[in-house]
Amino acid sequence: MKIEIFELERRQSLWENTVEYNLTESGIHPFTISELLNDEQIKQILNLRLGYGQTNGSIELRESISKIYPNATLDNVFTTNGSAEANFVSIWGNLNPQDELLLMLPNYMQIWGLARSFGVNVKPFHLKEDLEWQLDMDEIQKLITHKTKMIAVCNPNNPTGSIMSLSNMEELIDIANEYSVWILSDEVYRGAELDSKETTSFFGKYDKAIAVGGLSKAYSLPGLRMGWIVAPEEIAEKAWSYHDYTSISPSVISQQIATWALESNTRQKILTRNRKMLNENLSVFQNWLNKRKHLFDFIPQKAGAMSFVRYYFDMNSTLLTERLRKEKSLLIVAGDCFGMDNYLRLGIGSEKEYLLKGLQRLEEGLEEFVNA
């Protein structure tokens, strides 16, 4: 099977550890183990037996995950290695070649590339900038057919950081319901809302919803590689049988730490720390942009650590980001990775000093390349 190159991940894999300033991260500055755990928990980790553990996720872990979704029980939950694997088994397990998938763009392009490699007919619909990155339902009505099996959304969205309005959600559910199609909702940024109002999950609102989540973004724990699916029981069961062919099980260390991270007090502490960082860093970035209004347009994100900006100078986004990497040791994501030239995605979730220095490099690059 031929695959399409996943440009965004490929560029991160190649360069993120070789540059001085990496502003491609869509997550928030990660925790260390000692910042997260108390002495007793660290002792328990040291004595943890390194078996396979429960391969669909321990009972405690699945219970903690179920508590953050309305009307979910542990039988609705299936755990994976990262939300990337949750997306993978959801597409692999629920779609066949020639099925139609309606996919929200712009998006984290994993489902785009993966489904197309599996021979699925992927039909994009778009978040509209002039609607502040909301959906135009007429576009979806025109695309959906009786061959459509699934609608895939990313909410909160990567890269725009927008959150779907409740009316958009309800209208989308009505359309999905009329054609009896699944909604696969990648909600890995849920919990990272700047105004602290948690995004409504599609799970609990629609019977045929598969919600994907994980600890990499809103919880700042990407190194645990902890993701999950919350779905009707038969879908969670099915995901397990596909997962037997991928990685069998998430690590027992990650399962244990994830269970503690999701305990209600710890979870609140994590989310509060992250929202504070996000708000502070977003104002740093907006101050920076305000001095360059003639070059950029920006609808601030509602959630997540990525800022998606449109620029008005004449330079291809891949060319610009390549020059920034090579000449300024700064990595940022080109709009081309989302099929949207003239945009840049900047990760603002790092420590403030680091962000300021990264922006300084961008400033230097712009002065040299754009004014040259």
Ligand X SMILES: Cc1ncc(COP(=O)(O)O)c(C=O)c1O
Which residues of the shown chain bind ligand X in the complex (CB under 6 A)?
26, 82-84, 108, 154, 158, 186, 188, 214, 216, 222, 227
State residue 183 phi and psi, 5-degree precision. Answer: -110, 120
Q: Look up tokens 């927008």; give the residue.
A: 162
Strand order in the sheet with 343-347: 296-298, 306-311, 343-347, 333-334
Which residue, 105 or 370, is less far from ligand X as judged by CB?
105
CB of 31 to ligand X, least distance (A): 14
Report the residue number, 281 or 365, with the smaller CB distance to ligand X: 281
Alpha carbons 167 and 173: distance in angstroms, whole number:
10
| Residue 201 CB-half CA count within 13 A | 26
Our CB check for ligand X shows the closer of 99 and 186 to be 186
DSSP, collapsed to helix, strand or coil, labels residue 183 as: strand
Q: Which two tokens stand for residue 207?
A: 């019977």
Closer CB to ligand X, 248 or 319, in the complex: 248
Q: Give the nearest distance from C-beta 38 to ligand X in angstroms.
A: 25
Residue placing its CB nearer to ligand X in the complex, 57 or 222? 222
CA dist 284 and 343 (Å) reads: 19
CB of 239 to ligand X, least distance (A): 15
Reduced to 3 states (helix: H, G, I; strand: E, B; else coil), residue 324 is: helix
At CA 58, angle to CA 56 and CA 59, rounded to 5? 110
Tell me, what amino acid is at 50?
A: L
Q: Which is nearer to ligand X, 153 or 355 (CB)?
A: 153
Q: How far is the CB of 74 from ligand X (least distance, A)?
A: 20
User: Rounded to the nearest whole angstrom, what is the least distance from the CB of residue 154 to ligand X in the complex?
Assistant: 5
Q: How far is the CB of 222 from ligand X (least distance, A)?
A: 5
User: Where are the alpha helices (H) located in the chain, listed in sequence order?
Assistant: 7-15, 33-36, 39-46, 59-66, 82-94, 110-117, 137-143, 166-179, 233-243, 252-261, 264-290, 317-328, 352-369
Minimum CB distance to ligand X smaller for 255 or for 288 = 255
CA–CA distance, 221 with 78 (Å, rounded to integer): 18
Angle in degrees, CA 184, 239, 212, rounded to 5: 35
Determine the residue with CB nearest ligand X.
82
- Min dist CB 367 to ligand X, Å, is 30
Minimum gap (Å) between residue 77 Cβ and ligand X: 15
Characterize the bridge pairing of strands 148-154 and 100-105: parallel
Nearer to ligand X, 154 or 271 (CB): 154
